[in-house]
Amino acid sequence: MNQAEEFIVPDITVRKNAGLSHDADYTMPQPQDRYTKADHATWATLYARQVALLPGRACDEYLAGIAALQVSPERIPDFAELNRHLMAATGWQLVAVPGLIPGDVFFEHLAHRRFPVTWWIREPDNLDYLPEPDIFHDLFGHVPLLMDPVFADYVQAYGKGGVKADSLGGLDMLARLYWFTVEFGLINTPKGLRIYGAGILSSSSESHYSLESDSPNRLGFDLTRIMKTRYRYDSFQKTYFVIDSFEQLFKATEPDFAPLYAAIADKPEIPAGDILPGDTVLHRGTGEGWPDTEDA
C-alpha cells in the first residue's frame, strides 16, 4: 500500500470493524471471536494455493521465515503465538489494526519494530484481488521476512525514514521505494530470480507473472531512479526492480536522504513502463497486456 496517499477508509474496513474500537495508535486486540468458519476456510484456501507456488519462486529468507513462524495452514493465526517466534528472532511484533492506517502512524509503528496487520480477511467473492490490504496480504505477505535480521532492520529504518521524510517533502519518493522493494521487489540469487515483495507473495497470479511473463521490465535496483518511478496499483507492475541481496538494499538506503530528496525533487517522474539509458536491463518487457490508463 502507498502510505503517502490520501487516507480514506474503504467500505469493507468500516463493515468489518463495526462495533470494534482501536486506540489512538490504531492498534486493537485481535478480535478472535469475529472470525467465522468461512473466514478460517478462506485463510486455508489462500494459504494452500500460495504455499504450493512458493518453492522456486519465493526467496530462501521468506521460506525460512514462514517455516520458523509456524504459520497455520488451517486457521487464521493467533498474533500472540506468532509474536513469540518473531520476538525471539528479530524483536519484531505484530499489532492488530482495523485496516489501512495513516502514514505517520504506520511509520511510528515500523520505527519501533511493530508491524501493523489488518485483522480481518477478504470475502470469498473476492479471493484474488482486493485494493486494500487484509490479513492474508499483511501477514502472509509481509511477516515471514521480518524473521530475517537484515530485512527486519531495513523495515525499521524505513519507518524512521518515514517519520523524517514528512518534513522534507520526501513522502512520495519514499513511498515509491516501499512499493518497489517491500511490496513488489525481486531478488537475484545463485539459484535464479526470486520474489521478496509482499504484494507479489500474497498474489497467485502476480507470483507467476512477475517471474515468468515476458511482458514486464526487470531492472537492476537503482535508488534515485526508483524514487522517481510511477507505478500501478490497479494491475500487475510494468516494471520490477531486482536487488542482489538484502545487504545491498540496506546499504544503499542507509545514507541520509535529506540531500537526496532536495537533489531529485525537481527531476521529472518516470512513467511506470519506461526504460532509461542508464538502466541495468535484466529483461526488456514486451509490454503485452499493459493497461493504457495513467500510472499512479
Please indicate whether residue 137 is annotated as part of the active site. yes
Q: Of the candidates 240, 248, 185, which has an alpha carbon nearest to the alpha carbon of residue 218?
A: 240
**Rounded to whole angstroms, how far apart are CA atoms 292 and 237?**
13
Q: Which does 245 bind (CB under 5 to 8 A by kind): ligand PHE, Fe ion, none?
A: none
Q: Which of 234, 244, 247, 254 binds ligand PHE (CB under 6 A)?
A: 254
Cβ–Cβ contacts within 10 Å for residue 24, how many?
A: 6
Query: What count of other Cβ atoms lies within 10 Å of the Cβ of residue 84?
Result: 12
Would residue 142 show up in a list of annotated catalytic residues for this protein?
yes
Exactly one of 61, 183, 203, 207 is catalytic; name it. 183
Q: Scanning residues 111 to 170, which ones bind Fe ion (CB under 5 A)?
A: none
Note if 213 is an active site residue.
Answer: no
The grid coordinates of residue 68 equal 520458523
Whole-number Å distance between alpha carbons of 155 and 161: 10
Distance in angstroms (rounded) separating the CA atoms of residues 265 and 174: 12
Other C-beta atoms within 10 Å of 130: how many? 14
Q: Which of 202, 203, 207, 210 is catalytic?
A: 202
Map the footprint of ligand PHE across residues 172-211, applying CB under 6 A: 177
**Minimal CB distance residue for ligand PHE:** 161
Q: To the nearest 10°, the Cα dihedral for 121, 145, 155, 123?
A: -10
Q: Among ligand PHE, Fe ion, none, what binds residue 161 when CB lies within 5 to 8 Å by partner kind?
A: ligand PHE
Q: Is 161 a residue that touches ligand PHE (CB under 6 A)? A: yes
Minimum Å gap between C-beta 156 and ligand PHE is: 9
Residue 191, number of CB atoms within 10 A of its CB: 9
Q: How far is the CB of 161 from ligand PHE (least distance, A)?
A: 3
Q: Which is nearer to Fe ion, 66 or 198 (CB)?
A: 198
CA distance 139 to 278: 36
Q: How many residues bind Fe ion (CB under 5 A)?
A: 1
**Catalytic: 215?**
no
Question: Could you list the residues that contact Fe ion (CB under 5 A)?
Answer: 198
Query: Which residues have a catalytic role annotated?
Result: 137, 142, 183, 202
Question: Could you list the residues that contact ligand PHE (CB under 6 A)?
Answer: 154, 157-158, 161, 164, 177, 253-257
